[in-house]
Structure 1
Amino acid sequence: MSFFFYTAVGLLSATFGSLVGLGGGVIIVPALVYLGPWFIGQHISVATAVGTSLAVLIFTAFSSTITFYKQKRVDFRSGWLYFITCGPGAMLGSYTTQFVNAQSFQLIFGLFMLVMASLLVARDYIKPLQVNWSIQRTFTDAQGKRHEYGYGIVPALAIGLIVGFISGLFGIGGGSLFVPAMVILFRYPAHVATATSMFVIFLSSIMGSVTHLSLGEIDGWMVLGLAPSALVGGWLGAKIAGKLSGKALLWVLRITFFAVAVKMIAESV
């Protein structure tokens, strides 16, 4: 039973996480906390679920980043810039997890996802910031349409720090904040935002996992159970993402965030 549980959770979380640029932690953490006692016969603490999820995200993000790289969708230049602060932020967030109790975690997690979902819905009614950022980039999609976007060094570093902290705290990878920020603030095409987000998640997950490991908050056997299917899921999600339109990708994000938010908030009250 545990084998099928790990395989299903790893594959589903990685496929979906890679598809929308989240990393998959929004599925792994709730699955381990709520379904762990049923399928593997043991209660899993929030800290262990978060630490284990972040460790598995290394495999998910690595697999999807390679696939996105072959599709030429990853903006490595901005990715490395985000990582300057995202990496240390992930370590700080990972350290903070031990001080948050389960009920508070669920409520904060749910509210955070609800805000992100609302932000993405509002995106259709809010024009992206028309700022003449200091760094300008272009991207031509598969249909030959040319997209222009840009970013500033200081705002990018600030976003990296915030996203890194949230990533380490919740074990979700941070794409839930990265992708909306890239799309709304910097006008990234959705596919480039998703791909670049997964690259940064790969790097920051390594640093965050080191902190969780030092605190004894990673279950090695669970990582081994989840990692193989997560590798496959990371590749599969990136492949599927390449066939979806930008609008379809954003709708997948919105529905996911709302569903997770309602579940987590309901469980905390």
Structure 2
Amino acid sequence: MQMDWLSVSFPVSGVHTWLWLPPLVAFVLSFFCSMVGISGAFLLMPFQMSALGFAGPSASATNLVFNLFATPGGVWRYVREGRMFWALAGLITLGSLPGIVLGFYLRVLYLPDAARFKLFVGVVLLLLSWRLLAEFVPWKSTRQQAATIASSPDMSLRIRHAGLKRVTFVFQGEEHGFSTFAMLALAFVVGIIGGTYGIGGGAIIAPFCIAVFRLPVHAVAGAALAGTFATSLAGVAVYSFLPLPGGGYAAPDWWLGSLFGLGGLAGMYLGAAFQRHVPQRVLKGALGVLLAGLGGFNLL
């Protein structure tokens, strides 16, 4: 890595930018995304491709390095406040790990160039936005508002049953649950997408948990970040040590990823602390709109 005052060049990725820009961008993205259990890595990928001109398989690996540095800040905050859903975190990790390996091969075999990869990114982001914004249609709004008004300010989570077939828990005075097998299957599919995109297996499972399983945002966020850390660790190893079809490796740019990660670490910790003060509908609506915009941008 070569530095000229505040300008820096990264030899692995070929990126040349200001020293302060990667951590600043990562801080802002992580602050808001950590509130809904997303590290912000999926938003860093469009930034790397469009602003930094870094779009090869190594860019996905670099995104995973960002997760290794950034997610512990959010995870620690949720654990400290007693809001970590360990049963869900374990299922996300267990289901996502095999998908990470398949996602790596999908990335290097079928999506190595920027054009096809941007198309893939756009489709993923639009799918997530559709899942998040589906509940805001008029015939669902009244029911959701009533649920919000009736909810309790208590953020504690109590596991009622965690078995091989089903997990149930109580949050804000309401009982929620999901099928263990269905969650593992979803995590596997998400792991494939996450390994391809370079965002970790838990990074995009939060919107699906919220939209498909109808789980509350405040209960899902910590578990999704914990799953993201575990699967990102596996993803970095996969990209670093599994050879590419034509030879060589898609190793990450550790310097660039670390700069992103330092900003993300602070952003996630503060975002997790601030999350309890933001209504669930505001979090879901804002994220859905943002995903729709980014998805459309990548399809242009």
Cα separation, 2, equivalents of 1:220 and 1:179: 27
Query: How do 1:8-157 residues align onto structure 2 when only pairs under 5 Å count?
Result: 8-36=24-52, 43-99=53-109, 100=111, 101-125=113-137, 134-140=165-171, 145-157=172-184
The answer for the alignment partner of 2:3 in structure 1 is none
8 A Cα contact 1:113 1:176, kept in partner: no
> Which residue is equivalent to 2:271?
237
Contiguous gaps of at least 5 residues in structure 2: 1-6, 8-17, 144-162, 242-248
- Is this contact kept in 1: 2:22–2:259, CA < 8 A? yes
TM-score, normalising length: structure 2: 0.77
Structure-2 separation of matches of 1:234 and 1:177: 16
Asked if the contact 1:88/1:207 (under 8 Å) is kept, the reply is no
Match of 1:172 in 2: 199
Across the aligned residues of Structure 1 and Structure 2, the Cα RMSD in angstroms comes to 2.2
Deviates more, 1:169-178 or 1:84-93: 169-178
Instruction: Report the residue type matching 2:267 in the other structure.
Output: G
* Runs of at least 5 residues in structure 1 that lack an aligned partner in the other structure: 37-42
Tell me what 1:40 maps to: none
The percentage of counterpart residues that share the same residue type is: 22
Please tell me whether the aligned partners of residues 24 and 173 of structure 1 are also in contact (alpha carbons under 8 angstroms).
no
The number of residue pairs the alignment matches comes to 252
Please give the residue correspondences for 1:193-212 in structure 2 after superposition, counting only pairs within 5 Å.
Answer: 193-212=220-239
Larger Rg: 2
Which is strand-richer, 1 or 2? 2
SS at match of 1:242: helix
CA gap of 1:180–1:27, structure 2 versus 1, over 3 A, is: closer
Write 1 or 2 for the structure with the bigger share of helix: 1
SS at 2:19 equivalent: helix
Query: Could you tell me the TM-score, scaled by structure 1's length?
Result: 0.86
Which AA in structure 2 matches 1:185? Answer: V
Which residue in 2 is equivalent to 1:5? 21
Q: Contact conserved, 2:74 with 2:272, CA < 8 A, in 1?
A: yes
Q: Deviations over 1:133-187 (max 9, x none)?
A: 94242333xxxx3121111121111011011111111123455641232123333
Q: 1:119 corresponds to which letter in structure 2? A: R
